[in-house]
Structure 1
Amino acid sequence: MAIYWRPGCTFCAVLTNSVRRYADRAAWVNIWKDPEAAAFVRSVNGGNETVPTVVIDGVAHTNPAPLTVRKALRALV
């Protein structure tokens, strides 16, 4: 699972706090430090760098509910 985020994003902070216990099970990608990641986020969000964008089982989710991400992370072993 990949979680695309950027510093200063309130929604990213909420997600981070919500999944803290399982955070190490995901790859956290800062789109401001990774141009390819930023391009990917734009490609799945109509040209916008909307974060958090979370890829769960190969499907990109834009600003998903923290519960959805927490459940997916818990399922990873």
Structure 2
Amino acid sequence: MMRTWTLSALFALCGLFVATGLVLSGSPGEGAALLLMFVLLAVMHSPLVFPMSLSAPEAQRRSAVDGRPIVYWRPGCTYCLRLRFRLGRRSRQLHWVNIWQDPDGAAAVRAANEGNETVPTVVVTGRSHTNPDPSWVREQLPSSL
């Protein structure tokens, strides 16, 4: 669980140190601006940006019932962020599995990617697609949603 927040914590701490140095050297405005930038980076790379993660078995069970794709992701992955932001609100219609929180999810990604934990890996009707185009993923969503 802690691993998912490591990058966010590092961004926040670095921002705090840099901002403190700037404030102490007489530049409070620059310090505040840099702190805000680092906090935004921390939030963007945190699990907060993504819909709630499920376990891999639960995501597979739900996908079998409703036909929605499963997205295996991890915090800090720029390609996962790209997919999440390009999908917008529709990203909530997917089943998201954080491979840093779920060993079964990490194993599923390794099985689909020749032993590598390459994300995002999207599974649609049992078939894996590594780092697919967000518009293609949007087309895979059931139209009745």
Q: State the structure with bigger RCO (CA 8 A, min sep 6), 1 or 2.
A: 1
**2:115 corresponds to 1:47:** yes
Which structure is higher in strand share? Answer: 1
The two structures have a TM-score, normalised by structure 2, of: 0.51
Normalised TM-score (structure 1): 0.92
* Change over 3 Å in CA distance of 1:12–1:76 after alignment to 2: farther
Task: Give the superposition deviation at 1:75.
Answer: 3.0
SS of residue paired to 2:96: strand
Q: String of CA shifts for 1:31-68, please: whole Å, max 9, x gaps.
A: 00000000000001000000000011221100001111
- Consecutive unaligned residues of structure 1, counting only runs of 5 or more, are none
Offset of residue 20 of structure 1: 1.6
Amino acid at match of 1:42: R
Provide the aligned C-alpha RMSD in A. 1.2
Please tell me whether residue 8 in structure 1 is matched to residue 61 in structure 2.
Answer: no
Structure 2 gaps of 5+ residues are 1-68
State the aligned residue count. 77
Contact 1:11–1:51 (8 Å) recurs in 2: yes
- Match in the other structure for 2:95: 27
Q: CA deviation at 1:76?
A: 5.4
Structure with the bigger percentage of helix: 2
* In structure 2, distance between residues paired with 1:26 and 1:52: 12
Identity of aligned residues (%): 52
Give 1:26's aligned amino acid. L
